[in-house]
Amino acid sequence: MSEKKRQWTDCLSSRGGRLYIEECDTVDLAKKFGSPLFVMSEKQLRENVREFQRAFQKHWPHGRVEVLPAFKANWNLATRKILSEEGAGADIYSRGELEGALMGGTAPQRISVNGGGKSEETIRRCIETGVLITVEDLDEPELIDRIAGELGKKAKIRFRVKPDFPNLHKRTDFAQEYASIDLGIQVYKSGIPAQYLRELGRKVLTMKNVELTGLHFHGGRHHQSLWYWKGMMKRFGLLIVDLCEYWGEPGRPFKLQQIDIGGGFASHRDPHNKLEYSAEIIFTWLTWPFVQLMRLMNAGLRYRLFDLIVKTMARIPYRGYAPTTEEYAEASLTALRSVLEKRLDLSDVTLQLEPGRRMYGNTGIHLTTIKKVKRQTRPMHMNWVLTDTTYFFLTGGVYEYNMHDFVVANRTEERETQIADIVGHSCYADRILPLVKIPDVTEGDVIAILETGAYQEVSASNFNALPRPAVVLVNGSHAELIKRAETMDDVYGRDIIPERLQSKTRVEAGNRA
């Protein structure tokens, strides 16, 4: 597909054969700040949070809507400051994320502390700062009640629930295996099983130092479709009704202050699990019997057949788009309200949501420079484009089998003419984009990997002692560093060599001399 045919719908554009993010030439950014490089668009991030607020408020007339972006998806403090300026809260999972959200200016009453197995220290910090505690363990309310009593405060909590979803029968995108969404939700560790919620709620309502404010459910990105959200919200709604009626009095159900529907909205270009039919899987599942039969052939014929297999697997990454935020809002809230409005008083009930990948995904790109182009024609054709990055800097995408869309940033109007593996420079196979169609490229060209604003930079690791890249924030034509690249001192900064080993090393070195 030619880049001339690509439809740009966000902060990216093609101008004179070059890729721009907002008003910045991406090739110039790679030269100025170094490569590899993560780049974020401030304009796109602000537009995304406003779009979530606007769309979901439109379909929730009962009370206010609070957007709590998932801090784990992108915990750069500069991006967090931007969201705080926009009035957004935060979904956080660890003590470290809690401190980051507070440093980023997030209003404590709009911070939801999720996660099981919270330490006493973490719970104490939560109560002291006045954040909202999302309970995931059966014994957690008693611990919160005790600590809150010691501090002379009242802690606000809600339950993270795990409903049953027999209606979600389609395949989950969270696994390479063929498993249904309802099975995927049940085997996931988070949430209190529905069987315990009735009695747990009654017990909490008797506690002096704890206030039960609402219910929380996070399904995650199991499926891109609106069907998934409609089915999920209907079952969540049924559980909400059951619990509120059980905790209340006849004719007077318990009144919730808030309902949190979590996240799981597909990001704009949605690279999630698009490596489903990757080369590794096809070779393993489909061609292995034929590979064994091909042992009977002569080597020339065997590799000619391999050539054909490789050509059939070559691809251009997915270039469609997920449903819009407005479509997600209408589908999910129409389904939820259809259940709740018949049985419960929803006046002044706050709706909360915790988008991650859709909030951040299309705000970021990853720039990498081509170091070498390697080719072979015998015994079979293969091309490798070796870059200065690695999939260890994109680990979140590796775990999720992502197939990211990409652009050769200085050749955006050239047609794809060859098939190659775009690979990283770790000692692993490091197949960032396996068997993709690319234009003619050469050393020094810059590749932009798209939709990397969520879960990628925050999951980067130091395999092969590789320093992690910098992060740059773009605002119009202005670009500034918001996280510096690591140095070798950073990479080895946590290491401690005991004195006895240092002394021994010096003595042995002296003897050898």
pLDDT of residue 318: 77
Check residue 295 and report its DSSP letter.
G
Contact 453, 360 (CB under 8 A): yes
Helices and strands per DSSP (H, E), number in the chain: 17, 21
Same structural domain, 17 and 143: no
Q: Which of 24, 126, 244, 427 is catalytic?
A: 427
pLDDT on residue 196: 97
In a domain, 496, yes or no: no
- 343 and 200 within one domain: yes
CATH number at residue 109: 3.20.20.10
The answer to whether residues 311 and 336 belong to one domain is no
Do 76 and 187 sit in the same domain of this protein?
A: yes
At which of 325, 359, 393 does a domain end? 359
Question: Is the pLDDT assigned to residue 279 strictly greater than 60?
Answer: no
In this structure, is residue 501 part of a structural domain? no
Tell me the C-alpha distance between 444 and 477, whole Å: 23
Looking at per-residue pLDDT, the higher value among 510 and 331 belongs to 331
Residues 110 and 255 placed together within one structural domain of the fold:
yes
Q: Catalytic residue at 244? A: no
The answer to whether 367 and 29 are in contact (CB under 8 A) is yes
Residues 6+ apart with CB under 8 A from 440: 411, 414, 417, 418
Q: Give tens-digit pLDDT for 394-418.
A: 999 998 889 999 999 999 999 999 9
Among residues 265, 263, 253, 264, which one has the least CA distance to residue 349?
Answer: 253
350 plus 452 within the same structural domain: no
Domain shared by 280 and 377, yes or no:
no
**pLDDT tens-place string over residues 121-170:** 999 999 999 999 999 999 999 999 999 999 999 999 999 999 999 898 89
DSSP letter (8 states) at residue 315: B
Which of 496, 371, 495, 368 minimizes the C-alpha distance to 432?
368
User: Region 274-281: what's the mean pLDDT?
Assistant: 59
CB 341 within 8 A of CB 53: no
Q: In total, how many domains does the chain have?
A: 3
Task: Tell which residue, 7, 11, 68, has the closest CA to residue 39.
Answer: 11
CATH number of the domain that residue 397 is part of: 2.40.37.10
Q: Which amino acid is at 404?
A: H
- Of all residues in the chain, the percent with pLDDT exceeding 70 is 93
What would the pLDDT profile of 165-218 be if each residue is shown by its tens digit? 989 889 888 877 778 988 888 888 899 999 999 999 999 999 999 999 999 999
Q: What is the pTM of this model?
A: 0.92
Sign of CA dihedral 444, 449, 453, 459: negative
User: Phi-psi category of 465—alpha, beta or left, where left has phi over 0 and alpha has psi -120 to 50?
Assistant: left
Element (H, E) at 259: strand 258-260
Task: Say if residues 99 and 121 touch (Cβ distance below 8 Å).
Answer: no
Check whether residue 85 and residue 234 sit in a common domain: yes
Question: What helix, strand, coil percent values describe the chain, rounded to 5?
Answer: 40, 20, 40
Domain encompassing residue 68? 42-271+316-359
